[in-house]
Amino acid sequence: MVDDDLLKRQAVLETVFEFSQSDLAANQSGELSAAQKERVADSHFENCRFAWVAFSVVFGLAFLGFCAEMLRTGALGIRSLSAYVGATAFFGLVLWGFVLSHRYRMKRTLREGKVFPVKGKIQLFSLRHEKLLHRYVGIDGHRFQIERYDHFQLLQQSGLAGQEAIVYVSTPRQSVQSVELKA
């Protein structure tokens, strides 16, 4: 009966943190599995795509504002043109800096492919940050945000709080790769 409960809780962790037993075996040896490396790269490229779509939307809105200003004044003003170009270039450079920073961390994570174990008791808690409630899994002073509320509820309902576990965390990205429950 105890082993069955442990297996059910382990299955909940596999669902929430999206790992398999082969991923866990690779993490126990201190490495990322091939599937985990692919997930890290896919996540990075999805975030980059979102950033460039956001830039395109802002660029388009700024261009519409520039065109509206031209129509309103009836002339192509150097002031409005320089404001448009300056704001677009500034936003583009800031975005490019974030993308390059995240790409560097992703490439280091993939190149090094290392994970380190964090041992302790699982804690589930919520913190309010500027009117938003964030949910976390904590273990031995480390905390990892749970993005989806249904995943947080699943962790709570499965009785994982207080359970001894080893969380395998990737470096330098500092994200949960797998979790191993201790009996």
Express each pLDDT in 98-131 by its tens digit: 888 878 888 887 787 788 899 999 999 998 877 8
pLDDT at residue 106, as a whole number: 80
pTM (two decimals): 0.72
pLDDT at residue 27, as a whole number: 93
Residue keyed to tokens 């500034």: 90
Paired tokens of 48:
């980059």
pLDDT at residue 76, as a whole number: 67
Q: Find how far residue 179's CA is from the centre of its chain.
A: 17
pLDDT at residue 157, as a whole number: 92
Are 154 and 117 contacting, i.e. CB atoms less than 8 angstroms apart? no
pLDDT at residue 75, as a whole number: 67
Are 173 and 157 contacting, i.e. CB atoms less than 8 angstroms apart? no
Low-confidence residues in the chain, pLDDT < 50: 1
pLDDT at residue 77, as a whole number: 65
**What three-state secondary structure class fits 171?**
coil
**What three-state secondary structure class fits 107?**
helix
For 118: left if phi > 0, alpha if psi spans -120 to 50, otherwise beta; the answer is: beta
Distance CA 61, CA 3 (A): 58
pLDDT at residue 51, as a whole number: 80
Distance CA 128, CA 118 (A): 25
pLDDT at residue 2, as a whole number: 56
pLDDT at residue 174, as a whole number: 78
